[in-house]
Structures are given as structure tokens and as C-alpha cells.
Structure 1
Amino acid sequence: MKRTIALAAVAAVLVGGGIATTAAFAHDDHDDRGPDRAPLSADQHTGSTRSTGDRVTLDEAVAAALKAVPGTVTEVELDDDDHGARLVWELDVYGKDAVWHDVTVDASSGKVLSTRDDDHDDRDRHAPRQAAVSWEPAVAAALKAEPGTVTSVELDDDHGHLSWEIDVTGGDGRDHELRVDAETAAVSVDRDDD
């Protein structure tokens, strides 16, 4: 996996077979963002999730980010800001202005803390690619194969083949890395640790 996941107590609820929270505590070893991520648009985001304690849900974080920067959310993760000082939702948004934006939302209040243009040199500046299977059914397929809590969702373009990399913490507390084909929704165990 391109991201190292360290799970904290993050509860996810699959509502109507449609969505789960995509929260992850991640330490990004290298920036792998690019056109290989399918969009999470406000139109596609129809379900809701329950918060853990007073934590802002994935839905609320996406709504706040899209209000601040209209466009398409392509990645969401729950992260500890400043090494544990507070939890924040970090979102990547491909704006209607055709510019990539990084949006940070406070996980306690839902307030947008920052928005900035993402000008990383290694970012491919093309619009995000669409997958035949969006993230919601990919998450549902992963949870059907491995019930638990989704901690990370990312679309990967591995040698021209799109698939969703989905990390699930099972009921036994073990982390499972699954790959869901973005064309067929077929689920397999992800053995590629790139």
C-alpha cells in the first residue's frame, strides 16, 4: 500500500449498503495523488454515517469541503494534525476551477480550517478518472467480503488497470487490505505492498 495505516478507534456504519466511513490515520511516505482517483461528488454521496463521540462524520466533512471549494472530492482521510494535537479530515478536491485543492476540516467542529491550491510537482494536473464502479459499491463489496470498519479508500491505477484499495479492520481487530476491481467489483486480497 502506498500509505501506512495506523488505526485508531474509528467506527463506521454501512447505511443502506451504500457507504462507510473512509477514515484513516496515515503517515504519507510519498505523495501518490494523481488522476487515478475516482470522484466522490455531492450527487453520489447519498448515505450518512454515524459519528464516534463528537467526531464529525465523513458526510459532514465532505459537505463542508464542497461548500468551501465546489468540485469533486477524490480522497478523504482522518488524520492527526500536528502529531496528535487534534483530529482533522484531509480532503483532496478537484475544483470546478480545474485546480486541485487541499481542504482541512476540523473533526470536532466541522469548521473548514484551511483551503489551498495543491501545487505539488508530482501531481498530474488532469481531471480525475471515472471508475465504472464508484467508491460506494466498492466499499459495500469489500465489507461483504470482510465485515468490519473501513479505514482507507483509494483508487489505484496499477499499470492501466483501475482498482480500489480498501483497508478494513475486521471484528477480530486485524487489518485486511482488499482490492476491488473498478470494472467488475470483484474482491481480492491485496498482496501488493507498494
Structure 2
Amino acid sequence: MKRNVTIAAITAAVLIGGGAAGAAAFADSDDDRDRAPATSAGSVGPADDKDADEAPDDRDDDRATAAKNVRVSLDRAVAAALKSAPGTVTGAELDADDDDHEGRTVWELDVRGSDGKWHDVAVDATSGKVLKTREDDDDDRDRHAPRSSAVTLDRAAAAALKTAPGTITSIDLDDDDDDGDRRGGVLRWDVDIEGKDGKQHELRVDAGNGKVTVDRDDDGDDRDGDDD
């Protein structure tokens, strides 16, 4: 579309001011195109999306802070959440500075309740106290989010920690093709770990057979190796 507009502008310039004016218009257009930013003002780039604008280094710092502050293990947080909202936990994440709970480090858990509804549960990562249980009325999530798997959360967590010992800072049952790779659509557990080796690891655990895949390590390398 831009090319057609440029050609039209050149044609008009030639008709009005002669060939020299047209050549100048073409040269200016090329220069402007070379100087144009990769993301246009009307598009949503990483800096415009609250979830996407957090740089990898910032996310890594948050994970490290959360792992340092946690006193309540993942299994204890899951047990506390299920007492508050019986069902199946399909995701848990550490928040190192939760705005809703006076800056505490909390476990935020997703529970598919025995009542057939989704519940968001916040558990204090220091005391194990349930701070909030809220029914999630997101219709889209109710229709599409995975609700259970052959490999349970505790089994997936154990498999991931066997590959990369440390503290799990996030675990989530997922089947979205969110990264555009060939593994999209396969039900899996996405696991983030603050490793005892001082590195941060992103793993995937097949929700059908428990097979672990290293997705990314702290060196910034995307890897597709298997660690059983």
C-alpha cells in the first residue's frame, strides 16, 4: 500500500514540476522509509503491552526475589488452596510484590472447583494463610482452559525439579500455541524454576507422559533437549 502511494506521489510530482521534482520525491521517500521505526505509532509493540513490556531481566529479577522470600512450599500452598476451594489446581505462581496484599510475597493459584467453577486463590508465601478466594467468571476461560491432566501438578513439579533442582516460581497447565512453535496444542505443564545453581530455568512437562523438555536456561539459550 505504501509503495502504491509513493508511486502516485511521484507521478503527480512529474506532471506538476517535471522529472527533477519526481526524482527528488522518490529520494525523500526512500530516506524516510530507511529512517522509519520498526513499530509504527498505531501498532502495539512490546512497550505498549503491560504483560509484554516487562523485559526478560525484570522477570528474572522478580523470580529471584520471589524464590528468596518464599517460606511456604508449592505443595503446602496447593493444600491450603484446596481447603479453601476444593477441586484441581491447574496453575500456581509466586508474586514477589503483590499489590492486592500489601506487597507480600504470595502464591496465586488457579483452581477448577468441584462445583464446576474457576477460583482464584491467594496464599501468603510466608505464613501459608489463605488471603483471598475469588470466583473467576471469565466465560472464555471456562470454555477453553485445561481443567485436568493425566500427569498431576505435583508429579509435574517433581519431574521438573529432578531436571533442575531449586524453587518453582510458576507452574501452569497449558495447551495454547503461545510461542508459535511446533509444540503448540500439546497439553503440558509450563514450569519456571529458580535453580540451586543460581540459574533460572524454563521447562515443559508433557501432561500425558511426564517427559521433561528444557525450554530455556539462564544463558538465554532456547533449547529443545530432553531430560528424563
Q: TM-score, normalised by structure 2?
A: 0.54
Q: Please, which moves more after superposition, 82-91 or 170-179? A: 82-91
In terms of fraction of residues, the more strand-rich structure is: 1
Residue 139 of structure 1 aligns to a residue whose secondary structure is helix
> What displacement does 1:144 show?
2.7
Q: Is the 8 A contact 1:10 1:149 kept in 2?
A: yes
After superposition, the C-alpha distances for 1:131-158 in whole angstroms (9 at most, x for unaligned) are 2322333233323333333222112214
Please report the RMSD computed on the Cα atoms of aligned residues, expressed in angstroms.
3.1
Compute the displacement of 1:102 (Å): 1.2
Distance (whole Å) between structure 1 residues aligned to residue 140 and residue 119 of structure 2:
14
Q: CA deviation at 1:183?
A: 2.3
In structure 1, distance between residues paired with 2:142 and 2:174: 14
| 2:93 partner SS | strand
Report if aligned partners of 1:98, 1:127 keep a CA contact under 8 Å in 2: no
1:58 corresponds to 2:74: yes
- Aligned-partner Cα distance in 1 for 2:130–2:196: 33
Cα 1:60/1:164, change in 2 over 3 Å = closer
Residue of structure 2 in register with 1:162 after alignment: 187
- Based on CA coordinates, which of the two structures has the bigger radius of gyration? 2
After superposition, residues 127-138 of structure 1 pair within 5 angstroms as: 128-138=146-156
Describe the shift of the 1:136–1:103 C-alpha distance in structure 2 as closer, same or farther (beyond 3 A): closer
Give structure 1 stretches of 5+ with no counterpart: 12-50
Matches for 1:176-191 after TM superposition, within 5 Å: 176-190=201-215, 191=222
Counterpart contact for 1:78–1:89, Cα < 8 Å:
yes
Whole-angstrom CA distance in 2 between matches of 1:72 and 1:63: 10
What is the identity, as a one-letter code, of the residue corresponding to 1:140? A
TM-score of the superposition, structure 1-length normalised?
A: 0.62
Is residue 94–residue 127 contact of structure 1 (8 Å, CA) maintained in 2?
Answer: no
Higher normalized helix content (fraction of residues)? 2
Note closer, same or farther for the CA distance 1:110–1:169 as it changes in structure 2 (3 Å cut): closer
SS at match of 2:190: strand
Counterpart of 1:102, as a letter, is D
